[in-house]
Amino acid sequence: MSFSLSHPGYTPAEIMTIEASRRLKNGTVCFVGIGLPSAAANLARLMHAPDVVLIYESGTIGAKPDVLPLSIGDGELAEYADTVVSVPEIFRYWVQGGRIDVGFLGAAQVDRFGNLNSTIIGTDYAKPKVRLPGAGGAPEIASNAKETWIIIKQNLRTFVEKVDFLTSVGHLTGGDSREKSGARGAGPTAVISDLGVLVPDPVSKELTLAALHPGVTIEQAKAATGWDLKIASKVEAIAPPTQLELVTLRDLHERTARAHGVATTTD
C-alpha cells in the first residue's frame, strides 16, 4: 500500500472510496459494480446508510456481505440477500423496469461527456492493443438507472477526450444528445476520482471539476485529464477522512483479505 506524501495517513484510493460512500443516501437502491463501487457502497452501508439496497448483477437483491465479494457471483452475496433472482429477471424487471436509483460503475476509460469504455484499448476493434473483459451489465445500467455514478482513478490513460470504444452511454455528445438517443435517466451525475469529483455542466453536460480531495490542486487535476478540463466557479474542498471512516474501510478490507486470502485494496 503506497501512501501519498501530501496526505499522510490515508491513500488516494481510500479518500476516493470514502467520498463516494458519503454520497450514498440511506434507502437508495444501488446497482453495484465489483471493485471500487462495491467497496464504497458497502462502506456506506456500514457507516451512515444501513438500509441502502445493494443489487449485484448475479441477481442478489439487498445483499449484505460481511466481506467484499471477489467476484460478482460470490456465495456471500446470495447468503445474506433479501432475495436472489435469475439473471434475466434482474435485467428485465429490475434494471430495464426502471427500479434502480443509482447505477454505480467503474470502467477503464471515461470521456469528457461521461461515456464509458470497458471493451478495448486501441481504436481497431479487430486488433486491439488491450482486450478488456467487455460490457457485462454496464450498458443496461448506464441507459436505465435513474442516475449513474462513476468511480475511476484519474490520469491521462483513464480520462480521455474520447473513449476508444463507447461501451456504456454517458451524456453521449453532450447537450440533449443523451435524451434524444432514447436512453432513460439522468446519466452520469458524478465522477468520483482519486483527485476529486466531476459533475456534468447543466447545459453542455461536459464534465466539470466540482470538488477536490484535501491537498490536491486544480493544476494536478488538469494535468491528469486528457481534455481541457473545465473548472466550476466554486470548487469545493472535500473533508479529509474521519478516523471512523478510515478504520471501518480498513477493517472491511482486512476481513476481506483474510476471507479470500487476497487483498482487495486497489492501490
Partner 1 sequence: MTSNIMSLSDAIRRFVKDGQSLALEGFTHLIPTAAGHEIIRQKRRELTLIRMTPDIVYDQMIGMGCAKHLVFSWGGNPGVGSLHRFRDAIQNGWPNAVTIAEHSHADMAGRYQAGASGLPFSVLRGYVGSDLPKHNPDIKSITCPFTGEVLAATPAINPDVTVIHAQKADRKGNVLVHGITGIQKEAVLAAKVAIATVEEIVDNLEAPMNACVLPHWTLAAVCEVPMGAHPSYAHGYYERDNAFCREWEVISRERERFVEWMKANVMSTPNHAQFLTYAGIR
Is 175 among the residues that bind partner 1 (CB under 8 A)? no
SS3 state of residue 260:
helix
Q: Of 23, 48, 62, 96, which lies in the binding site for partner 1, with binding defined by CB under 8 A?
A: 96
Dump strand ranges (E) for 135-202.
147-151, 188-192, 196-200
Binding of partner 1 by 261 (CB under 8 A): yes
Please, what is the minimum distance in Å from the beta carbon of residue 166 to partner 1? 5
Angle at which helices 36-47 and 243-260 cross, to 10°? 120
Assess contact for 3 and 10: CB atoms under 8 A: yes
Span from 9-17, 41-49, 169-177, 192-200 in contact with partner 1 (CB under 8 A): 169-177
* Least distance to partner 1, CB of residue 264, Å: 9
Which candidate, 185, 182, 178, 216, places its Cα nearest to that of 198? 216
Whether residue 190 contacts residue 149, with contact meaning beta carbons closer than 8 Å, is answered with yes
144 in contact with partner 1 (CB under 8 A):
yes
Catalytic residue annotation: 57
Which residues share a beta bridge with 159?
110
Q: Please say which residue, 127 or 234, places its beta carbon nearer to partner 1.
A: 127
122, 130 in Cβ contact below 8 A?
A: yes
Q: Does 6 bind partner 1 (CB under 8 A)?
A: no
Q: Does position 124 bind partner 1 by CB under 8 A?
A: no
**One of 18, 29, 32, 34 touching partner 1 (CB under 8 A):** 34
Distance (Å, whole) CA 191 – CA 169: 14
Nearest C-alpha neighbor of 29 from the set 44, 39, 16: 44
DSSP secondary structure, 206-224, as one string: -EEEEEE-TT--HHHHHHT
Tell whether residue 167 is a contact of partner 1 (CB under 8 A).
Answer: yes
Stretch of 4-12, 100-108, 180-188, 194-202 contacting partner 1, by CB under 8 A: 180-188
The answer to the question of residue 131 lying near partner 1 (CB under 8 A) is yes
Closest separation in Å from C-beta 182 to partner 1: 5
CB of 112 to partner 1, least distance (A): 15
- The residue type of 231 is I
Binding of partner 1 by 208 (CB under 8 A): no
Q: Tell me if 200 sits within 8 A of 206, measured CB to CB.
A: yes
Q: How far is the CB of 46 from partner 1 (least distance, A)?
A: 21
Interface residue list for partner 1 (CB under 8 A): 34, 57-60, 69-75, 77-78, 84, 86-88, 91-92, 95-96, 115, 119, 125, 127-128, 131, 133-140, 143-144, 165-170, 172, 178, 181-184, 260-262
